[in-house]
Amino acid sequence: MIRAENLSVGPVEHSFFTRRGGVSTGIYASLNCGQGSDDDPSNVIENRRLTTELLGIPEAQLCTLYQVHGREAIFVTKPWRDENRPRADAMVTNATGLALGILTADCAPILFSDPIARVVAAAHAGWQGALNGVIKATVEAMSRLGSNPQAIRAAIGPSIMQASYEVGPEFHTRFMAMNDEYERFFVSGDRTGHFQFDLPGFVEHQLTASGVGSIERIVRDTYAEPDFFFSYRRSVHQKEPDYGRQLSAIALVGPEPA
């Protein structure tokens, strides 16, 4: 479990889980929580149970999405069955005891908390979602539940870092077409015409632009740390048939105020 200091305040429990501590084997070893993987479903179920046990939340209260690299942030009032997962990339709740979970394997998981308004959120930010506004949408959804952006605390979890994230010229062109100020998130790559992209830096910029008052980055590279993290890009480079997903989750806990 990796915890962010700025989220360890108020009636909140959270964790950025690593790949360690589960029951899966082979390329999924060991805490693979991804229902979309080809892992044995019974192993995934047990791994998810283990994470909720560590969070102190009943297994049935863990909510995860069918993530689509979009920008939609949904409100959550009760859990759903896995087969009914909403197609979205962020969740927001003010309900006590619900764990909002994001699955990643290079993309940036973001956990949010407003301990004053008692609102939490979780977002999946790959480059597409981050560029298209999932972070802004999440902050706006929290505001509709009474949060002041300046009171929101956000933590960016382990993701692929700039040194590991080579992109082609078309990727760079797409960002420049949106805003030429985004040039600062790119440095030249080893190959001509290629770049290294700073995903967590871009995510932090989007959080700042959305008015979030406290931002913390967990500086861990999912690609470069195979003993600790699953990585989609690493699995492609190693020609593996599939890859696991690590879970990041946050929940409001404790009694509600009278």
Q: How many domains does the chain have?
A: 1
pTM of the model: 0.98
Does any domain span residue 96? yes
pLDDT tier, 258 (very low <50, low <70, confident <90, very high otherwise): low
Does any domain span residue 173? no
Query: Model confidence over 13-61: pLDDT tens digits?
Result: 999 999 999 999 999 999 999 999 999 999 999 999 999 999 999 999 9
Query: Model confidence over 153-174: pLDDT tens digits?
Result: 999 999 999 999 999 999 999 9
Length of the chain: 258
Does any domain span residue 81? yes
Does any domain span residue 176? no
Which is it for strands 99-104 and 90-93: parallel, antiparallel or unpaired? unpaired
Would you give the DSSP letter of residue 221?
A: B
Whether residue 90 is predicted with pLDDT greater than 90 in this model: the reply is yes
Q: Is 222 helix (H, G, I), strand (E, B) or coil?
A: coil
Does any domain span residue 183? no
Backbone angles phi, psi at 194, to 5 degrees: -105, 165
pLDDT tier, 224 (very low <50, low <70, confident <90, very high otherwise): very high
Does any domain span residue 166? no
Does any domain span residue 75? yes
Q: Treating both helix axes as pointing N-terminal to C-terminal, what angle do 134-144 and 199-209 enclose, rounded to 10 degrees?
A: 40
User: What single-letter amino acid sits at 140?
Assistant: E
Cα–Cα distance for residue pair 91/85, rounded to 1 Å: 12
Boundaries of domain holding 56: 5-161+198-252
| Average pLDDT over the chain, rounded to an integer | 97
The H-assigned helical ranges of the chain are: 41-55, 127-132, 134-144, 169-178, 199-209, 232-237
Q: What's the CATH code of the domain at 14?
A: 3.60.140.10
Does any domain span residue 247? yes
Q: Would you give the end-to-end CA distance of the chain in angstroms?
A: 32
